[in-house]
Structure 1
Amino acid sequence: MIEKLPVKIVSDNRQARYLYEILETYEAGIELTGTEVKSIRMGKVNLRDGYALIRNGEAWLSNVHISPYEISGKYFNHEPRRNRKLLLHKKEINKLIGLLEQQGLTLIPLKMYLKGHWVKISLGLGRGKKLHDKRETVKRREDQREMARAMKRF
């Protein structure tokens, strides 16, 4: 019987679902250094400006800020915004190459979490929303809140 590993969400990119319409999600591992892992376990990650791209048949995570680990010295630390290699299967990468080039979609980091003792990242394949789509999302969310308030009263 397979045991479920405990999942602890370290960082969530809430703005991504507002700016993009997410079509598919993928789970990937990340190639990290020791101080990066320690910093992630402390929750010092910012996914807001991050994106993923595919270069030479490899997936890379760019512009994600992982703060330097403060307990160790400056010499052994990592650079906060360096490019990090994503660990995906070759079939997934080939599928993503086709979708990204043909349909003009974007690969956005949605969540970073600890699955057991592994650091994983959830990537969303998204299409950018127009201004009217964003307004519609806000309006739908406000309507749901109003309905919840009305139901709570009765």
Structure 2
Amino acid sequence: MARPKPSTFDKKKTVAENRRARFDYHIDDTFEAGIALTGTEVKSLRFGEGSIAESYAEIRKGEAWLINANVPEFSHGNRFNHEPKRPRKLLLHEREINRLHGAVERKGMTLVPLSVYFNSKGRAKVELALAKGKQAHDKRATMKDRDWKRDQARILRDRG
């Protein structure tokens, strides 16, 4: 029997965050995936370098891949340094990959990385979201709600 997953992930040190994803997509479900990295990539991430702003994930031949994530070359790396924007394999269970593949194929959803972080054991992880793109009117409604909540907090703070 599978062990139940915690509702929130154990994020010890967040390296990169895709803040724009929550604005551009309706987040349906989130998954925690490991990343297959080389030594210089891990060192570069530990220094807090890396970006997932324009990245996405896809399923190819039964494997999950993180595409277009930028992990800059390690400054003290030698000739064995890594390529900054290479596709990186995501480590997920086969059941999770099949579920994600079905959702992407049938429902027209996409896989968006929300953050890259190190957990308490020191392993690099990606928080992956199964998401559906927002229309322009949905984005306007999101901005309107955010502005109203900000005004509401300001009004309550001034009165109290």
Gaps of 5+ in 2: 1-8
How far residue 8 of structure 1 moved from its aligned partner, in angstroms, is: 1.2
Q: How many residues align?
A: 150
TM-score computed with the length of structure 2 as normaliser = 0.91
The counterpart of 1:42, out of the listed 37, 44, 47, is 47
Higher mean C-alpha displacement, 52-61 vs 5-14: 5-14
- Aligned position for 1:8: 13
Amino acid at match of 2:36: E
1:122 maps to 2:100: no
- The whole-number CA distance in structure 1 between the counterparts of 2:134 and 2:21 is 10
Q: Shift in Å at residue 76 of structure 1?
A: 1.6
In the aligned structure 2, how far is the partner of 1:134 from the partner of 1:106?
17
Q: Which runs of 5+ in 1 are unaligned?
A: none
Q: How does 1:1-154 map onto structure 2 within 5 Å?
A: 7-73=12-78, 75-116=79-120, 117-154=122-159
- Paired amino acid for 1:135: R
Shift of 1:63: 0.3
Q: TM-score, with normalisation over the residues of structure 1?
A: 0.94
Displacement of 1:87 in angstroms is 0.2
Q: CA deviation at 1:5?
A: 6.0
Distance 1:24 1:43, change over 3 A: same
**How far 1:6 sits from its partner (Å)?**
6.1
- CA-CA distance at 1:25 after TM superposition: 0.3
Which structure features the higher share of strand residues? Answer: 1
SS at match of 1:65: coil
Q: What SS does the aligned partner of 1:70 have?
A: coil
Deviates more, 1:4-13 or 1:29-38: 4-13
Cα deviation for residue 10 of structure 1 reads 1.0
- Alignment RMSD (CA, Å): 1.2
Aligned mates of 1:43, 1:104 — CA distance in 2: 33
Tell me if the contact between 2:11 and 2:117 (Cα under 8 Å) persists in the aligned partners.
Answer: no
Is the alpha carbon distance of 1:6 and 1:12 closer, same or farther for their aligned partners in structure 2, counting shifts above 3 Å? closer
After TM superposition, what 4+ stretches of structure 1 lie above 4 angstroms from structure 2?
none
Identity %: 48
